[in-house]
Structure 1
Amino acid sequence: MMSSIRILRPRRFSLSWPAAALLLLAGSAAAQVYAPRDPNAARGMQNQVPAASRSDRDPARDSGQVPGLEPGAYPERPEECDGPLGHLLPECQLPGDTLDLPPLERRGSETGLPAGEREGEAAGELQRRYPPELEFLPMPEPEAPSEFQRFAASSVGALLPIYGASLFERVPTTFAPLDRVPVTADYVIGPGDEILLRIWGQVNMDLNLIVDRAGAVYIPQAGSITVAGVEFRQLPGFLRSQLERVFRNFDLSVNMGQLRSIQVFVVGHARRPGTYTVSSLSTMVSALFAAGGPSAQGSMRRIQLKRGAEVVAGMDLYDLLLRGDKSGDARLLPGDVVYIPPVGPQVAAAGSVKNPAVYELKGEETVADLVGMTGGLSALADRERATLERIAAGARRVVEFRLDEEGMRLPVRDGDVFQARTIQPRFEETVTLRGNVANAGRFRWHPGMRLKDIIPDRESLVTRDYWKKRNLLGFTPPEEAIAAEPVEEARRRLSETRIGPTAPDINWSYAVIERQNPQDLMTKLLPFHLGRLVLENDAGQNLELRPGDVVTVFSQADIRVPQMQQTRTVRLEGEFNAPGIYDVEPGETLGRLIEKAGGLTPQAYLFGAEFLRESVRKDQLKRMERYIQDLEQEADKAARNRLANADNPSQAQMLEAEIKSQKEMVERLRSVQPTGRIVLSLDPDSNDFSQIAHMTLEDGDRFVVPALPSTINVMGAVYSPNALVFAKKRPVREYIAQAGGFTRNADEDRAYVLRADGSVLPRQSTSGFDKKSLNPGDAVIIPEHLFKTTFLTNLRNWSEVISQFGLGAAAINVLR
């Protein structure tokens, strides 16, 4: 795949020797792009590109020609462009200086260019713009747990990792980057290394020298010089002494280019044993990373470096992992063997230690040494009790000890499982306060401590939730502080203003102390009267506390209290002289509350009043859910029977359509919510509320008295469903006739009247239904006849549904 890489057009410039050395070092560290010094060499560079890759190029570009200039002509460049970083300046950029090059190889000798022209600013530019991506070694296949890991898991209840194994998971390859780091002073030159030699003064040379297999390099006029075995720190002085035999009055700089590769072996218990070709700067750790590290059966602490028949170095990876000590990491030479022996004695450390794992022992080690390898005990470790599970005489035994100085000297052996126990979560000398209080938590116990010490006043019982919600009452959201666009502002619905407690009220009559008997560990409850304790300062309720006591304060939402103790608010809406939200005193009835609101207005229609109660609504909702479940079960049973008796596919298809329609009706019924309305059964011609004056009130009751309506609603299967003007003593049949009469689908036998007070008057159970007179606000409902199925007809009458669940006239349209 062709890549477009921006390089600079060739030009002549001179560099100081420090700048030249820096550019030479940068160029040898990255994939190299070479810019020839001679302008005519640009054509030579293009000749290195395969013909197939140049077939669609501009001929002027292939010829090295800059567009807009005569052949061989180049524009004048400012002096600052001749510096080592001049090509980065905008004024130094040439038009059309982008060449399409194939992927570049690292070694300059493989590009076909002369060795003396392989360095330049283009190499540094490429390295800056296209840094080498971080590559990762392939992840080793996950190993099965070792036998000792499974053994330890049976004791501690979890599979412990082998310490240090995670170091070799998903590691970046270290060999490519090693070619781009400075070599150390003790690096030994060998065959295959590239030496970058620059000489200036009486003689000028810029050489890239490759050490041949004989260990020598060839320098013009100086001949062959053997450099193999020379350390890098000695190389400049050694070359100077050799060149002084031929040249005088010169200076030189020496650096390393491409380093040689060496072949090493990683054998033994490695994850991926085999032969590896690595950089000559590589060490034992580099080879271990390449091989995936020791396997579960390999040693982390006895790794050997063998050279010939001798062991020249040994490495303990724990020194690197625990202390960051890499002094045992020896450099590799060609043919070296990194040998990983079998794992040595192993112990498992679990519980309250900082790094639970399976550890390898080396020599005689103690519990203190093992705890040190884990990083130490955690803050939750119980220093009074620890255990060692030990294999002795073919059986497992448990050794218990304290983690004191003597216990830490206890020796650990192969196969031991060490567990540091966790302290008990018990709080000593404390008392706990919880529930409906301002500051729940734990308090330090002291002799003579009593309830008033932790519940001193009323403020200590005001919860944080109360203040949070109370503080939000005066908050205006930012989006509502400023008017929105006119269309959006018109659509915005005003929020309803509510009055009521922002948090549940306190249960003043009951609070409790939970106390555990130390003899039989049974928990006993010691109740006390919170109101007498806090409000009346009753000393008899100020009970003494003991360590471990738990004091719980309840709210009225936790335990339901008598109505007389509840905080009750009732909404009076509609035709009252002073409608609003009123606080209900103990023993106060609906009649007294109406009087408190100034009574009813002359326009009030008490017969059509709605008395809504939350407890009734919840009860209606439960009964309605039960009714819908029964309805679905009977419908499914009937559907299965009818489908089983279908005579042909067309009839079955029709039945499936009916069943689908039935399910849709059930879903519509499920979407209707009961209102919690209580039918008051008042006189339609009177506004005397003495019949309901005795009613007791509950928190959240809502009493809505509408104005006297002047219409009758006719809904359902009539030709003109509409609201009609009320006329006194006009019967039902005349209203139906005024609405256009029944449609062909009307189920006349199941017609009913929904009274303004919420009661239902069904035709089937009412004699003289057609002659009945209506009251203002009544609604006449004509259901549609169900031709295709007897599903709803046989199961329930809709008038019963409306009556039982307190559904209003608005629900009729949903159920149609």
Structure 2
Amino acid sequence: MSRALLLVLLLIIAPAWGTTLTPGDRVYLQLPGESAFDDPFTIDDQGQLRLPEAGLITVAGLSIDEAEQRIRKRLSTIYRNLDELELSIMEHLIRIQVLGYVEQPGMVSLKPGSNIQMAVAEAGGARPGAQLDQFKLIRNSKTQVFNYKQYLDSGDPGQLPAIKSGDTIFVPASPLLGNIEVNFDAASLREGGDADEEQGITIFGELRNPGTFSFKPDMTVVDALMRADGVTRYADVTKIRVITDNIPYQFDLKAYLDTGDASNLPPIKPGTTIFAPIEVEDINTTSRTVYVMGEVKAPGAYESSPGTGFIDVLANAGGPTRFADTTHIKLLSNVNAPLSINLVEYTQDPSQSTLPPIEPGDVIFVPEKIDFNEKSWLKVTNDRAIKIIGAIYNPGRFEWSNSMSFMDLLAHAGGPKQQANLSNIRIIRESAAKNEPRVTFFDFVEFTKAGQPKGKLPQLRAGDTVIVDELPHDPTDNKSSWLRQSARDSIYIFGQVGAPGRYAFNNEQGFLDILSAADGPTGEADIQEVLISHRSGKGTEVTRFNLSNYFETGNESLIPDVAPGDVIYIPQLEKAADERAVKVIGAVNAPGRFKWNDTMTFLDILAMAGGPKQQANISNIRLIKEQQNTPENVIYFDLENFINEGGNFAALPLLDAGDTIVIDELPHDPTDNKASWIRQSADDSIYVFGQVGAPGRYAFNRELGFLDILSAADGPNGDADLRQIRISHRDKSQAQVTKLNLSLYFETGDESLLPVVVPGDVIYVPKEQGNWLDKPAERVVRLMGSVNKPGRYTFNNQMNILDLLAEAGGPSDEAYIERIMIVNTSCCGDQAQTFNLRDYVIDPARYPLPLLRPGDTVYVPNESDSIGEQWRQGLRDVLGLFTLIALGAAL
């Protein structure tokens, strides 16, 4: 296309768009005689045009005339004749950023009127696995979620939001996808380079995509750097190293971009090596350098010019970060004294404060903001810090200002914990005046009750230390934490109370409060003689108090006043009244000593002791009579029988004061006879020995029977002889033994066969001896001869001779199976027959199995009994005789 035709097209289509240039626009720059301007230029996403020789020029947001004037001004230093220079819009595009799960995320250029589908298509389309119903449109930091799938289903353009230049479309991935993706495609391989070292250019260092790239004719160092996607933010562009034909060159990219002097470009050719070093290798200073350090966006050295102010330098460094303490910015100078700048006050009222001028060589230091989570105290000096320790949520050292109060400090430290002693907060002043107390106390509880008047708050200042003591976690925790409790806030209680000790106390509490905190008086306490020692500091005064009288009358005036520092003592009764008590020990829930009177029964005492435990042996409770010195001072009581018979109260044992009730505990496991047999009385035990699952000594009572004790012992095992069980009865005047055929009981179910057993009896289950008489002859078959297991075998009409031989382990190796003899027993006499097992195996159809019935006898002979074997033996004897005769004749 000729240049004239291109101009005509531009004149025709130029009015169709606005006159303001935007990123993505393609413009045509007419400059006759310069071939570098024959092709149109595209405004990049930063709103800049990259022009030959002139570099980058910002034109976005300018009108065509304004942009043309700016370009003309830049090119005037390079080109002499710019009279025919003219800028025109060739194509107006909108720039949309497409991110997420698409084939080619990034910026796309679209024509006006395009929609989201066109933008996604320009990005290569959504990848398989994209979540189509959760597309996002981001505009001015606001996100709009829309259903792209619904648009694809319906084709309704109204389902898609309109797009504008600068929008971002995000395509999310489905949550069903995995967390790891590996993609080896041509594009990813090309990023590492597309040439070898001899024919390409090797580029490495602080570059976005270092590698070895192919060389193109007329390629410059700048082209090679752009092939590697440009330098990173850390590259030192003033000291780029280039080696061509083993000759090193140093290239200053910054100077080249400032001057456009192509003579400074080093030569490159295939095999050239380019290295972009990191910028921190050395320090560059000039006579106009100003340094910015600390919490700024981009700290470093910046060049200043006359008229550059403090705000200009700070803004050039990116401004303070969110971690910066802008109230204490330091300005350091080689000439003047250091200055502290409060930028917050300046921004609130610039007319009331001024910023100092900036001179070359000055240093601006923006310190880090002090956070209460910061543990380093070096960040804040002691003249502007205050310390708070003790029972608060975030104790520590905090920055202090005179505009703050005690409540501000307490709130900043997270407030007091639940166990904090707020009635006695201590404030220690390090720099106290001569007549000023070094330690003061503050009652925060009284302060809150008084309506929180500000005049009662302690006046704090920098350097003070606030201590909030912690109350013991447990009022009885007097051994581990009594040092943390102040003596002036404590009261003492001793004697017959549940938890004697030293307790925190204040004026809001009374005698009953401290008594209940100590778990009250015990059962041995003499509450009629309570002694209270008042230690007010002026003298000691003792008050006697009858607590029993208060309990009977409820007269509050009888209760004495107590204060922190007082001592309460509750003595023990002089006589314990042992003659009016009954003791309960053993397997009860609350064993102990209980007061007794004549109206109480055995069940009353048992209920006061919490009742028997589940593992208690209530069938043999022992009652020891302390008042009887006779051998019958121990009485046995069967509570289980009492309950089963309906509770005849006349059968309850009679108790007297001083008696002792002993309830034994059953073993936790019926088979636990090794560890707990001593705890089990012999009068309540029965003995099981022999072939049972768990022989031993078991608890037993008269409510149980023979089958109960047999099942407790896990029953008879497989070797037990159930017909010969023996029971030794030891409750008689002389030994008596009973025999039991338990097998007969199992066959008949006759309960009268089971013997009566009582505690003390011995049950013995012997081992079965294998009595062959148990199997009658008419129900078995006798097998003899050369078999592996000869004997008597149970036989029925469903079995044959092969079943019998198989059960006996088969014939032995010496068996003569060609002549097995069978003796059949019948009503008319015994009959014998022979059976050739070898013929049956060869031809079962021709040689059937012989009939075999219970009562028959089978004999398998040995091979030595066969006629052939006997003939061979005779032949060997004759040959031996002839041999002897021949030897004799020879001799």
The two structures share one fold, judged by TM-score above 0.5: no
The alignment's TM-score, normalised by the length of structure 1, stands at 0.30
What is the TM-score normalised by the length of structure 2? 0.28
Whose radius of gyration is greater, 1 or 2?
2
